[in-house]
């Protein structure tokens, strides 16, 4: 799949500046890790930036709208599909045991491609390759349901340390995070590192740690993946979003998860 390109690219001088930014961000990440070991981790999940009513909605599963997708995902987990006549449970059994910790490790290394696969892509591949069932479209209710059901099994667990086999992909994701794009010429880092805690359109700017995806977003009135949120941000700075599943989005997601290593999963989260 060929990814769409941002509308605005760096000049050679900007590229040199981006390299300096990456060095600084790399040093900052090391300092952050050291601080975390010392008990002074300054990272905060998106939950901490939400208002009391949104936090209350996420805390109470009976009030969290995302649980509707989780329940649908649980039903799909136990439903036979495709030519194999098998369900997810036929191979993986009880999800509360077999899927515990899975979301903490994705995007994960894929031996077939030598690259990274997101949790959503892993589920979609299992459906077509193992169940031999029709593919589920990105952001479809069925795929979001299964992803949210699987992700919830890791609630309260810490995001795993980065896989050393994916260091190049992670570095490319970091470059995307610090690159100015679109007609507004903004990067992810400018909002979520430099201005975290400030307000934009009436909402607090979080630090962009993807601990709760898929999320129910009040603005969407529905559940959405991290890639949907990234594409929204790209549109917001007037850049052409990459297609769902594009390598650039996978690598950016990989970097964001590595950046959040050690933080606790709180999926499915609620956001404004």
What gap in Å lies between CA 219 and CA 6, rounded to an integer?
24
The gap between the terminal CA atoms of the chain, to the nearest Å, is 31
Burial of residue 219 (CB within 10 Å: 0-12, 13-18, 19+) is exposed
The position carrying tokens 């052409």 is 240
Strand segments (E) across the chain: 108-110, 115-117, 199-200, 203-204, 215-217, 222-224, 269-271
What gap in Å lies between CA 168 and CA 170, rounded to an integer?
5
Token digits of residue 93? 């059994």
What gap in Å lies between CA 138 and CA 144, rounded to an integer?
8
Angle between helices 119-129 and 141-152 (to 10 degrees): 120
Q: Which residues are tagged catalytic?
A: 233
Q: Supply the DSSP symbol for 223.
A: E
């Amino acid at each position: 799949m060929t990814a769409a390109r941002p509308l605005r690219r760096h000049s050679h001088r900007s590229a040199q500046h981006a390299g300096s930014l990456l060095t600084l961000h790399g040093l900052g990440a090391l300092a952050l890790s050291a601080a975390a070991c010392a008990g002074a981790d300054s990272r905060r999940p998106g939950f901490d930036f939400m208002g009391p009513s949104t936090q209350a909605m996420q805390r109470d599963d009976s009030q969290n709208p995302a649980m509707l997708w989780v329940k649908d995902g649980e039903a799909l987990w136990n439903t036979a599909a495709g030519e194999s006549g098998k369900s997810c449970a036929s191979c993986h059994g009880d999800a509360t045991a077999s899927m515990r910790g899975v979301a903490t490790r994705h995007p994960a290394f894929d031996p077939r491609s030598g690259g990274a696969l997101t949790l959503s892509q892993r589920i979609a591949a299992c459906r077509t390759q193992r169940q031999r069932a029709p593919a589920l479209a990105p952001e479809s209710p069925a795929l979001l349901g299964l992803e949210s059901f699987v992700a919830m099994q890791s609630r309260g667990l810490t995001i795993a340390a980065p896989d050393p086999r994916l260091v190049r992909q992670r570095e490319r994701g970091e470059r995307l995070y610090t690159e100015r794009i679109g007609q507004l010429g903004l990067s992810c880092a400018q909002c979520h590192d430099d201005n975290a805690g400030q307000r934009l359109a009436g909402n607090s700017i979080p630090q962009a740690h993807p601990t709760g995806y898929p999320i129910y977003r009040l603005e969407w009135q529905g559940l959405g993946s991290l890639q949907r949120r990234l594409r929204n941000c790209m549109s917001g700075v007037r850049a052409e979003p990459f297609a769902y599943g594009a390598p650039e989005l996978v690598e950016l997601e990989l970097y964001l998860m590595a950046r959040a290593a050690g933080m606790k999963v709180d999926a499915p989260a609620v956001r404004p």
